Every structure is written in C-alpha cells, then in structure tokens.
Structure 1
Amino acid sequence: MGWLREIWEIRLYRYVAVVVTVALVTGLYFAVRSLAHDDRACAPGVVRPEGSDDCVGVSSTAYDFGRPQFRDVVQAIDKENDRLKDGGYVTVALMLPYTATTPSTLSDIHHELQGAYLAQWQANHAANGQAPAIRLVLANPGATSDHWELLVDRLERMTTSSDRLRAVAGVGMSTDNNKKAVAELTRRGIPVVGSSITADDLANGQDGKDPFPGLARVSPTNTDEARALASFAKVTAGKALLVYDRPGDPYTRTLQRSFAALIKGSPYEPQPFTPPADRSQEGTTANTFRQISHLVCNTAPTTDTILFAGRHTQLRQFVNALGARGCQERRFTVLTGDEGSYLSGEKALDRGALRHNLSVRYTSLAHPMAWTQNPPATGGSPQAMRDLSDLLKRAERAPVGPIGQVALDDGQLIIGYDAMQLAVHGIREATPEGKTAPPLADVGLQWPQVKGRELRVDGASGWICLNVHGNPYDKAVPIVELTPEGGSRFVKLAWPEGKPPTAECLTPAA
C-alpha cells in the first residue's frame, strides 16, 4: 500500500501548491490594486493631496490637468521648454487654478496661458542676445486655491534647484486664498507678477505699507478702476444705487468701498446680497436680485446708474433679473469692475435683457480695439498691439503654434502676455553681465524702476509704469459694453487720473 500513500502525498502536494499559488496571486492582485488606489500622482510634479481628488502642484511636462482646451498651448510650451539648454534658462511659474470647473473661468485661464506662452516665445526668440532664456511651467493651487500651501512649498524648493525659479506670474482672481498665497510667496522672497488681481488689499502701498515685498501688478487696483469709471460716466451720488456682495472677498470688498466713496451722500441705502462661499455657484441670490430689481424701479426718475460690486456669476443673475423688471420704460446702466468680462461669452446670460433699456458696462483689463480707434498720443502704443497680433498669426501653425482657439475681447490673453513681459523684464534687468541667472532677491527690486521712456514696459494693454510699491500708475482702463448680439464692444479708454500719463510716464510723489 506504499504506492497508494505516495499517490495521495503527490496529490496533496499539488493541492497545497495550487492553494499557495492562488493565495499569492490574489495577494499580489490586491496589493497592486491597493497601491494603484493609494497612488496620488497625476503627473510629474503634480499630486492629489490627501482627502482631495484635485491635481495640485507644478507641471513641467505636457500635462494639461485634464482640460482638453489647454492641450495645444501646453504642448507648445513643452516644445519650447525642451529646446532650452540646461544651465542657460530660469523658470517662471504661471500660477492659475487649472482644475477650475466653471466654463467661463477655464476660458479665461486658457487665454491667459496662451498670452504667457507667446511672451515666453518672444523673449526666447527675439532676445537680441539678452539672457537668460525663459522656461515656463504651470503651477496649480487647486480649483479654488485651497492647496496654496502645498504649492508654495514646491515653488520655494524650485528656487534652489536646477529649475532656478525666479518669478511667479498670474495668480488669478483676488480671493482670500490667493491673497494668502501671495503673502507667503513674497515672505519667502519669491517675486510675484499679478496679471488680473485688482483688489486694493492685494497690493502694496495701502496706508504706506508694503505687506507683499516683491509683488508687481499689471492691472489697476479697484480704486483706480472705479476712478476711471467715474471720470468716464460722470457718476454722481443722487443718480446711482450701489448693490454689493456681503460679506464679500478681497475683490468685491475693495470695489464696494471704492464705489461707496464715489457716491458718498447718496439718498439710497446700498443693497447687499449674500452669495455662496464659492462664488462660482448659483446659490439662492437670484431671488435676492429679483427683489432688488423691484427696489430699482422705486428710485427717483433721475436715478439711472447701478454700481455693482460682485463676482460674475452674481452679475449675470442680476442682469437677468433686471431684464424682467417692472419699469421697462426706464433706462439703467450697470457699471462694474473687470469681472464683467466673464459675461462676454456667458451662455446663461439673458441677452434679451440688454434690449430693454439696459446697458452693462465694465472696466476691462485690456481690449484689442483700445489702440486702434483714435488712440491717445501717450499711455500706450498701437505698435505693441500690432506686434502681438502678428505673433498670434504666426502661432496658428508651427513652429510657434498651434496654441488652440484664440479670443482677445475678454482681455485675458493680452494681460497674460503683458504680465509675462514684465516678469521677463525684471529677470533680465536683475541679471549681472556675463551671468546666466539673477539672484532671486534682486528680481523684485527692479519694480520701482519700471517707468520712464526707456525702462517702462510697452504692454499690449498699455504702458506699464510702476510706482515704488509695484502698482501701475495711471494705467489705461478700457470701458467695454456687453452687446445683445453676444460678445462685447469697446466703448472708450478711461484713466484713473482723468487723462493719460505724460510721455515720460513718471509717477508723481505721493
């Protein structure tokens, strides 16, 4: 019977081997699955923070953050970066919320990204021997900038690595999170060039203080935008009603204060509305605006202006409500800040409202028609806009492009181009002769000298002449109006000082 025992032992060994193999394969399967589940990487340099599905960090590859509309321009940037020689470039990070979800915000980001790339390409290919070359990377703090701390840490490490990061451009909206990010970046000695930030409390020079050392901006403050609006529209206290976001954010609060100062002594109490914390969401403010539209009709017949201090989602709701107001026979003009540009292509906007004695005018950061219709002799150059237009034509195909569908009327491509130009100017002015990179600390020290005929930046949005606090002096402010047919039209250039700067573009003493 020994042979029978051997058979059973063989069968047992085979059975055990199969069981062990199955266990090992199963364990390996679940281990791999667990590792895949725990893998937080989105792309090189970009991760999902714990508890979030948002992809945050700095991308130096052709990664488009899952946004197909960015693909062409991101690939163009990657191609330009690849041709740069190690040790011969410095890096500029374009900080924007690339994973935002609202179509209007993504459209603005797309256009600003295109403008920044065109400035990078121009800096590298029309440099006349100037050094260093410029590498552009994409820095994402999250859809609502919630993960700005993680991003700032990453950017700081890049200042001492082979990346040689020397400036952060962009920033995006004037939100509390972005304000914290700029404060921390500049505290760590990293220069920042704001493109579309306009809030007064996200600027230096307020009350003589500079809480953001090394910050420069290419856009006017809300106060300057309001002053330009007032000089254009001749706003007076007895003819205007203020509607404002309560409690507000840095953009809306400073716009509210600026508007309130313009109509001090108004017979009308300002009307508040309270949006969701995420102001890109609809919330219930449409009901509030329906009620305010009734109050608008109860104002005196001489009241014809509504000053709106709010974000674009709420502005769209307010305009839609005014379109259904009872006093259709009365003409009203809504005046607001640069958030109005988001409505230029907003599909949810009731364009019919603009045919019912209602105009919506806003201060744009830039406009392609500003320097083509009888432009002023100073304050900007038609040639600068022509140079950008020529570059855009070249970007329709290789070797410059393609960069995707282009639009200029929202001003974002233009202002992104100018912010990058200013960053390049600061970097190259700070680079010692014979060196390939400037000291990090010296870049932000260049901003007070960006003025005068030779040292100003001739931006496509107008001359960029900075005061000692890094804010543009008497920057051109295009007044733009939404049209019932869709899009917008340029109305007129306005100026915070009531007139353009002189040819010298020197800022006066405070």
Structure 2
Amino acid sequence: MTTLVGALLTLIVTWLTWLLTKEYIFTGLALTACAIVGLLVWAFHRTIADIFHNLARGVTSPIKAGIKHAGTRKPLIALAGIIALIGTFLVWRETLAPWPLPSPECAHLGSEKTAQVSAAHVQGNVRQLIAQENRRVTTLGKGKYVTIAFLGTLDDSQGLADDRVTHQLEGAYIGQLRANRGSAGLGQAPQIRLELIELGPDQNNWKKAIARVKAMAAGPEHLVGVTGMGVSHRNTVSMARALAAANIPMVGDVLTADGLNMTGRVDGGSRINGLFRMPHEINKQFSAIDCYLRGVNTGLESALLVEDAANGTDQPDIYAKSLAAAFRRQPFGDYLKAGGNIVNQFGGEGSSKEQLDNEFGRISGNFCGEPKPDIVFYAGRAAYLPSFLGNLRKRNCADLNPITVITGSDASSLAHQKDLAKDLAAKQVRVLYVPLAHPADLNDAANRDRDLYRDFASLFSKSFNEDDLLDGWAIMAHDSFVTVAKATRNAYTGKALPTPRQVQIQIGLFTSETNDVPGATGHFTIESETGDRKGGFRPVVHSFGAE
C-alpha cells in the first residue's frame, strides 16, 4: 500500500511540475527528488523517530539499523533508483544535449535604441582615413608590412546592406588603427594595410576579386588574409571554396546562414578549410528567441511563414533559405503546425517595388481572416522588411490582433528606422530578433568584458557617428579584422613576413583563454571543427516596435 501511494504521489508531483513549467529540467529534478525522498522513507521509516530522539546523544546505532533494514527492501530501492535515473536523464537532456538551455537571460530583452540616419550617408570619409593610414604604412618600406583585404559589396546598388557596408568599413578601419598602434595587446609588427576589394551586387564579381587576392598574396603587398566576405549568398560559398583551395584564411563578419563555415554544411558540399566567422548563426539566434518566448510565457499560439519565393528555385538566397528551414524545424515547427502549415511567398526574380507592395498587402490581409495567426515567421532579407511591416501595420484588424514578427539578425538594419518603430508600436506589431551585436548589451554592467567594448567605442566615436554602431556591422568588422591581425602578429618571428597559410594556422590556434582574441565583443576563441567564434558576447533577443 505504501508503495502504491508513493508511486501515485510521484506521478502527481511530476505532472504538476510539467504543467507549471513545461521544462524538462524541472520535471527531471522533481522526479529525482521524489525518488530520493521515497528511498529515505522506505529505508528509514522504522527508525526516523529514533534517529531524531537519540541524535543529540550521539547514538548512531539507529542509523545503522536503518541501513540494515534497507537491505530487506531491495525491490523498492531498485524502483526508486530507476525513477532517479529517469529524472537524471531529463536533467541531462536539458543541460548537456543540444536543446536550448533556459537561463535568466532568456526572459530578458536587450535595450533597443533606434536612430534616424540620413540617406546621404556616404563612404567618402572612411575611405579617406583608410587611404591615409595605408600611405603611412607603405612608407615603412618592403618587408615591414602586410595586407589584409576587406571583400564586400562596396557599391550596394541593390540596397541589401544599405549604410551598413559603410559601417563595416568604419569598424575595419578602427581595427586597423588599433592593430597598428599596438593597442588591445595586438603588438605592432608587422604593420598592416587595409585593401578594399569590390565584390559587386550579389557578389557577382567574386572571381575577379579572388584573382586580385591571389595576386596580392604573391606580390609586394604581401596579403595574409581577408575579412568581410559579403553576405550569406551562394556566390559567397563559391568564393570561400576558391580561397580555401588557395590556403588564404577568411574571417566572415556578417555570415549567419547555418553551416556557412568550415563544415560546408550550408550546401552539403565539401569542407571549407580556413573559413572562420564572427556572428552567431541562425540556429543559435532562434534558440535564444525560443528560450525567451518560453521564459516569459507570451501566450503565442500559431504562426504563418512568409518567405522569399526564390527559396523554391535552384538559385535561392541562402540566408532566406536558412531562415525558412530553421522555422520549419522544432521548436518553431509546432507554431506552424498549429497555424495549419500555411506559407505565403513574396518576390521572385525581377519583382518591382510595386509588385512587392501588392504581395505584402495581400499577405497582411491574411492575418485578419481565419485562421488568425499571431506570429509571422519572416524568411527574407531585411531590405524588404520595412515594406512588409508597413503593410502589416495597415491591416484592418490591427486593433484586435497583435502580431509578433520573428526573423534573423539581418533585421539589425531596423535600428536606423526610428519612425517605423513608433508606427509599429501604435498598431500592435513587434519584431523579435537577435542582432549581430548591440552597444547596449556590450556596454551593460553585466558584461565582464565591457572595458574592451568601451575602448573600441571611445576610439570609434572620435572619427564616426556613434549611432553607426547600432546595427552591429561595425563591431563585427572590427573583430574580424582584429582576429586576422593578431594571428599575423603571432605568426611573425621577426624575420620573414608570415604567409597566408601560417596566419590560417594561427587563427586555428585561438582555442584557449591564454591564446584568445580581445575583440570589442569580448575575449573569444575559435571552434576547431566549425571555425565559428566561441565565447565573448551571448545572443540577446531584441524587440522592435510594440512592447
């Protein structure tokens, strides 16, 4: 009878814990606690009173008697042990297995500062500063300097990166300046030139860019590595494989598509040795968002997927495709299933602004019909996001149906859309995303490496507008440059200048706190298998628009 009551109580406690928390870790702990309590009761229930009665007199024989008595109850002990093992497994599942780990940060939103930036923002100022520093470096003479190239779409006529390319150059320049001045423990020799190489729209000029990189590696410029690498695009993958074949190390500063790293998983192809990157990939970003949603119990129930129509073609935007694939996986897959697995596509080859506005208007209207989802999974570029959000706030049911839009870090461009944030708040629309990096998070008192960020931001603000840091592109570009710069200094023996291959090896050696990179985002190392950064800042969820 006692066994039956104990088992029943264990089931009730476990069931209530799951209902209240929906967390495996707490359910597992409840099971383990029940097993331990049950084991103690079964083993010592005849002597517990005697233990408390005689404990003050130092009598230990009752305890021994209880242990001896436990030997007659081996089946019950075995049952308790099984329950404890199940509980331990559930705790392990949540703490060591690759599921999102709940933590205090999950229920915390990063501070979202926005700014209104003039469209007349140009690259002239930062290009002049880079040219000036390069002239100083080259006057030192042959054998005294190396070159690090920045590869990017400098003339962004398509608007996929807007002013953020300029911010990238600003961050790379500050990295060059700090490296050449010996700050942040980077040393001073050899000095470093920063070469800007145009990739063109969609990285279409990548073959010409690669030819130039190879020529500079073999020439007097003594190129040792590249940063930037454009955005997550299929041409980026082709370019990375060509550079890998030439043993030229790459550090991508805004590449976030899942598997766009040394593993080559992004397209199922071969490994891309020498491809390192700074930002958190989409999978990690979405784990943080899921963690936040579970932590605050938002009550959100169902979702509709809005994706770039190119995802269904043989030439997809791999960033948008990576977003869509992540939305279809767990944990977000359940939201789609609850909404009927509905997908609305937009865009496609040659779509005009008028066509996009028309499609976004139709999609927004779908949120006022049945079924009525409360989440939008947006799998597309942020360049189209303001148009979509503008249509979403004009939906007829705005007063009745709040909407949460979830998307990737490309939404960092919204940091420069202050007026849009106010409009969305008035129409109950909010956007949840994890930025590449954000000043508010890095300057937070809880950041143990805050001084590293402050040193960087202080130097940055002397030459550029501090609001340029809001989208995170300048910060990522700085850390990418500093990674190659420190590896170059580590490879330099004081005699011959290091080769690209030697620099690549040194980047791969950033694997411990005694040999890490002091970036603006904190001290970080490099994962040997993937080439992704490890450590430093953690992904923080930000909200744009409504609270």
TM tier relative to shorter chain: 0.7 to 0.9
Shift of 1:81: 1.1
Alignment check: 8 A CA contact 2:258 2:283 kept: yes
Q: TM-score, normalised by structure 2?
A: 0.68
Partner of 1:92: 148
Counterpart CA distance in 1 for 2:517 and 2:170 is 19
Alignment check: 8 A CA contact 1:244 1:270 kept: no
Q: How many pairs are equivalent?
A: 406
Counterpart CA distance in 1 for 2:371 and 2:522 is 39
Alignment check: 8 A CA contact 2:224 2:503 kept: yes
Counterpart CA distance in 1 for 2:393 and 2:300 is 24
Q: What is the DSSP-based 3-state SS (H/G/I as helix, E as strand, rest coil) of the residue aligned with 1:253? A: helix
Alpha carbons of 1:447 and 1:242: their partners in 2 closer, same or farther (altered >3 Å)?
farther
Alignment check: 8 A CA contact 1:99 1:142 kept: yes
Give, as a single letter, the amino acid of the residue that structure 1 aligns with 2:475: I
Shift of 1:349: 5.0
Where does structure 1 lack aligned partners over 5 or more consecutive residues? 1-66, 397-402, 485-490, 492-510
Range 157-166 or range 76-85, more displaced: 76-85
Counterpart CA distance in 1 for 2:253 and 2:497 is 23
Say if 2:145 is the partner of 1:77: no
Q: What is the DSSP-based 3-state SS (H/G/I as helix, E as strand, rest coil) of the residue aligned with 1:327? A: coil
Partner of 2:23: none
Q: TM-score, normalised by structure 1?
A: 0.73
Say if 2:234 is the partner of 1:176: yes
Shift of 1:278: 7.0
- TM-superposition CA deviations, 1:275-322 (whole Å, max 9, x none): 24478x636232222222232233566x53222111013222221121
Partner of 1:240: 303
**Alignment match of 1:385 (pick from 447, 453, 477):** 453
- TM-superposition CA deviations, 1:262-287 (whole Å, max 9, x none): 222423214131324478x6362322
Alignment check: 8 A CA contact 1:166 1:191 kept: yes
Partner of 1:457: 517
Counterpart CA distance in 2 for 1:71 and 1:320 is 32
Partner of 1:274: 346
Range 241-250 or range 330-339, more displaced: 241-250
Partner of 2:391: 321
Partner of 2:67: none
CA RMSD of aligned residues (A): 2.8
Shift of 1:343: 2.7
Say if 2:396 is the partner of 1:336: no
Say if 2:532 is the partner of 1:471: yes
Q: What is the DSSP-based 3-state SS (H/G/I as helix, E as strand, rest coil) of the residue aligned with 1:120? A: helix
Shift of 1:434: 1.9
Write out aligned runs for 1:119-268 (5 A): 119-126=175-182, 129-205=187-263, 211-234=271-294, 238-248=301-311, 249-261=317-329, 262-265=331-334, 266-267=337-338, 268=340
Range 434-443 or range 403-412, more displaced: 403-412
Partner of 2:105: none
Say if 2:353 is the partner of 1:286: no
Q: Which has the higher helix share?
A: 2
Partner of 2:480: 419
Counterpart CA distance in 1 for 2:538 and 2:517 is 13
Write out aligned runs for 1:349-360 (5 A): 349=420, 351-360=422-431
Shift of 1:166: 0.7
Counterpart CA distance in 2 for 1:356 and 1:90 is 53
Counterpart CA distance in 1 for 2:440 and 2:240 is 32
**Alignment match of 2:490 (pick from 425, 429, 451):** 429
Range 164-173 or range 285-294, more displaced: 285-294
Alpha carbons of 1:419 and 1:299: their partners in 2 closer, same or farther (altered >3 Å)?
farther
Counterpart CA distance in 1 for 2:214 and 2:354 is 37
Alpha carbons of 1:478 and 1:277: their partners in 2 closer, same or farther (altered >3 Å)?
farther
Partner of 2:499: 439
Shift of 1:352: 1.8
Q: What is the DSSP-based 3-state SS (H/G/I as helix, E as strand, rest coil) of the residue aligned with 2:202? A: coil
Alignment check: 8 A CA contact 1:96 1:109 kept: yes
Give, as a single letter, the amino acid of the residue that structure 2 aligns with 1:181: M
- TM-superposition CA deviations, 1:195-222 (whole Å, max 9, x none): 0011124222356976211011001111
Q: What is the DSSP-based 3-state SS (H/G/I as helix, E as strand, rest coil) of the residue aligned with 1:212? A: coil
Shift of 1:173: 1.3
Q: Which runs of 4+ in 1 moved over 6 A?
A: none
Q: What is the DSSP-based 3-state SS (H/G/I as helix, E as strand, rest coil) of the residue aligned with 2:225? A: strand
Say if 2:402 is the partner of 1:345: no
Q: What is the DSSP-based 3-state SS (H/G/I as helix, E as strand, rest coil) of the residue aligned with 1:189? A: coil
Shift of 1:407: 1.6
Counterpart CA distance in 1 for 2:144 and 2:157 is 37
Partner of 1:56: none
Give, as a single letter, the amino acid of the residue that structure 2 aligns with 1:477: P
Shift of 1:75: 1.2
Alignment check: 8 A CA contact 2:285 2:433 kept: no
Alpha carbons of 1:348 and 1:104: their partners in 2 closer, same or farther (altered >3 Å)?
farther
Counterpart CA distance in 2 for 1:270 and 1:443 is 48
